[in-house]
């Protein structure tokens, strides 16, 4: 069977599934492999659960000739099928979003805005932004899609280049260049090169890039490209002029465009560029500013990204969807500006490799010299830092912090910031406050 034959079968199926236990009747199961699993082992189970076809790359598990298809590499096959589906839907404009921080928030804001104009907006769900999630996202695109917003994550160079070849984006935006996944990228220069792979693709294919004119890296690397610029500073070169608003008495992100003030439920000045970029893209696609304002102000973050709520008269900011040195620093700088008594509960920043110790030391140094009153630092990386202070308490593991907080109530405070890498799962401590 060639890709066209399989695509015809996919077209009448109920979708693609890579988890045999989640197989729906009439779906196609693709058996992927990883370091700790081999999906080929579950191909027979997938058929039993209703899959019309199981695609495998290990002939030891070839049990049923009629319902099994053997390929050389199931991941490559998944990519090829996604590319073919994108080719069939080449008329659908796709906006690709990448960057070190703020990808998911920006993607969701853009989708919310575009939904005010288009009835069929397709976008990346959850965190499906890697070499497996992206092809699955493409294959989830209905034929009646009017526009799509896709998020690209990466932890090593050439990954964005590969994902662009699958997505074939018509538009692109890089949120920023921060210290994320340093273990894979090796340096900040490696991070910049990686993110700019999106620019390389767009430039080569004469597509359009959205540019934050306040970011010198974006501005200088997009000079010869077809670009649409927003800026709060360089009004002479920007297509959209933004006024960023800041008030110490309000922690919500707000800005003004064309004399219209927009107040978001997002927390922190570090989210302002995410909001501004989404508004810019909405304006480019001719969504009215009135509808854009409504979309932004209706959007409420979830999944522990810049969420804000009040408990026992304490204003709590929880931002533990992810953490890296850049996002941690920006959150702390913002939190330090807020007036009132403040406590931080921070978890380790992961995937930093040889940079880990130094980056955690920098965070401790910042806290030591900040007006933050108490800091609880959780994880072996923070625990092994040499710098300390009377206001800093370190815990090797989260369970030790849980034991401590159960015996000691948190002192009366005005604000608490909770931030850490996803694997630390700091949201579990909220119930203990």
> In the predicted model, is pLDDT for residue 356 greater than 80?
yes
pLDDT digit string, tens, across residues 265-323: 998 888 999 999 999 999 999 999 999 999 999 999 888 888 888 998 999 999 888 89
Banded model confidence at residue 178, pLDDT cuts 50, 70, 90:
confident
Q: Provide the pLDDT for residue 183.
A: 82
Each residue's pLDDT tens digit, 93-130 = 999 999 999 999 999 999 999 999 999 999 999 889 99
pTM of the model: 0.92
Using CB atoms within 10 A of its CB, is residue 7 exposed (0-12), middle (13-18) or buried (19+)?
Answer: middle
Instruction: Tell me the per-residue pLDDT of 136-153, one tens digit each, with 9 for 90 and over.
Output: 999 999 999 999 999 999
Three-class SS string for the chain?
CCHHHHHHHHHCCCCEECCHHHCCCCCEEECCECCCCEHHHHHHHHHHCCCCEEEECCHHHCCCCCCEEECCCHHHHHHHHHHHHHHHCCCCCEEEEECCCCHHHHHHHHHHHHCCCCCCEEECCCCCCCCCHHHHHHHCCCCCCCEEEEECCCCCCCHHHHHHHHHCCCEEEECCCCCCCHHHHCCHHHHHHHHCHHHHHHHHCCCEEEEECCCHHHHHHCCCCEEEEEECCCCCCCCEECEEEEECCEEEEEEEECCEEEEEEEECHHHHHHHHHHHHHHHHCCCCHHHHHHHHHHCCCCCCCCEEEEECCEEEEEECCCCCHHHHHHHHHHHHHCCCCEEEEEECCCCCHHHHHHHHHHHHHHHHCCCCCEEEEECHHHHCCCCCCCCEEEECCHHHHHHHHHHCCCCCCCEEEEECCHHHCHHHHHHHC
Residue 38 annotated in ligand binding: no
Please give the mean pLDDT across all residues of the chain.
93
The residues of the chain that CATH labels 3.40.1390.10 are 3-79
106 is in an annotated binding site: no
**Interval 5-59: pLDDT, tens:** 999 999 999 999 999 999 999 999 999 998 888 999 999 999 999 999 999 998 8
Domain 3-79 indexed as CATH 3.40.1390.10: yes
pLDDT in tens, 209-265: 999 999 999 999 999 999 999 999 987 889 999 999 976 667 889 999 999 999 999
The segment(s) of the chain belonging to CATH 3.90.190.20 are: 307-432
- Between strands 171-174 and 208-212, the pairing is parallel
101 is in an annotated binding site: yes
Each residue's pLDDT tens digit, 47-94 = 999 999 999 998 887 776 779 999 999 999 999 999 999 999 999 999
Does 176 carry a binding-site annotation? no
CATH 3.40.1190.10 boundaries in the chain: 89-298
Q: Which pLDDT score is estimated for 83? A: 97
The predicted pLDDT at position 179 comes to: 85
Mean pLDDT of 395-421: 92
Residue 350 burial (CB count, 10 A): 19
d(CA 70, CA 275): 46
385 assigned binding-site residue: no
To the question of domain 307-432 being in CATH 3.40.50.720, the answer is no
Q: 261: annotated binding-site residue?
A: no
Q: pLDDT for 359-386, tens place per residue?
A: 999 999 999 999 999 999 999 999 999 9
Q: 311 a known binding residue?
A: no
CATH superfamily to which 89-298 belongs: Mur-like, catalytic domain (3.40.1190.10)
């Amino acid at each position: 069977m060639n890709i066209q034959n399989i695509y015809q079968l996919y077209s009448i199926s109920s979708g693609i599934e890579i988890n045999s236990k989640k197989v729906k009747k009439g779906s196609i199961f693709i058996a992927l492999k990883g370091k700790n699993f081999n999906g080929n082992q579950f191909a027979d189970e997938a058929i039993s659960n209703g899959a019309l076809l199981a695609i495998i790359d290990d002939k030891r598990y070839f049990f049923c000739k009629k319902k099994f298809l053997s390929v050389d590499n199931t991941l490559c096959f998944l990519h090829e099928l996604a590319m073919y589906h994108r080719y069939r839907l080449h008329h659908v404009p796709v906006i690709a979003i990448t960057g070190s921080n703020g990808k998911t928030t920006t993607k969701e804001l853009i989708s919310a805005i575009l939904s005010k104009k288009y009835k069929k907006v397709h976008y990346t769900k959850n965190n499906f932004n890697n070499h497996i999630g992206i092809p699955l996202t493409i294959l989830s695109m209905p034929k009646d899609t009017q526009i799509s917003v896709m998020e690209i994550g990466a932890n090593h160079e050439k990954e964005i280049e590969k994902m662009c070849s699958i997505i074939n984006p018509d538009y692109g935006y890089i949120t920023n260049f921060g210290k994320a996944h340093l273990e894979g990228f090796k340096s900040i220069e490696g991070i910049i090169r990686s993110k700019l792979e999106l620019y390389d693709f767009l430039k080569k294919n004469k597509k359009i890039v959205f540019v934050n004119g306040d970011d010198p890296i974006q501005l200088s690397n997009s000079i010869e490209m077809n670009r649409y610029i927003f800026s709060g500073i360089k009004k002479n070169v920007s297509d959209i002029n933004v006024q960023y608003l800041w008030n110490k008495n309000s922690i919500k992100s707000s800005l003004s465009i064309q004399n219209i003030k927009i107040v978001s439920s997002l927390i922190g000045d570090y989210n302002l560029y995410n909001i501004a970029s989404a508004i810019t893209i909405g304006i480019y696609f001719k969504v009215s500013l009135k509808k854009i304002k409504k979309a932004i102000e209706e959007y409420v973050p979830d999944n522990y990204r810049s969420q804000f709520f009040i408990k026992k008269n304490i204003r709590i900011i929880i931002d533990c969807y992810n953490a890296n040195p850049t996002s941690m620093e920006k959150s702390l700088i913002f939190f330090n500006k807020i007036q009132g008594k403040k406590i931080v509960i921070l978890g380790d920043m992961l995937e930093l490799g040889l940079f880990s110790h130094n980056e955690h030391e920098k965070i401790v140094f910042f806290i030591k010299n900040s007006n933050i009153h108490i800091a609880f630092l959780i994880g072996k990386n923070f625990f092994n830092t040499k710098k300390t202070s009377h206001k800093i308490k370190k815990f090797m593991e989260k369970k030790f912090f849980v034991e401590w907080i159960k015996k000691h109530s948190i002192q009366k405070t005005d604000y608490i910031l909770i931030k850490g890498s996803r694997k630390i799962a700091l949201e579990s401590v909220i119930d203990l406050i």
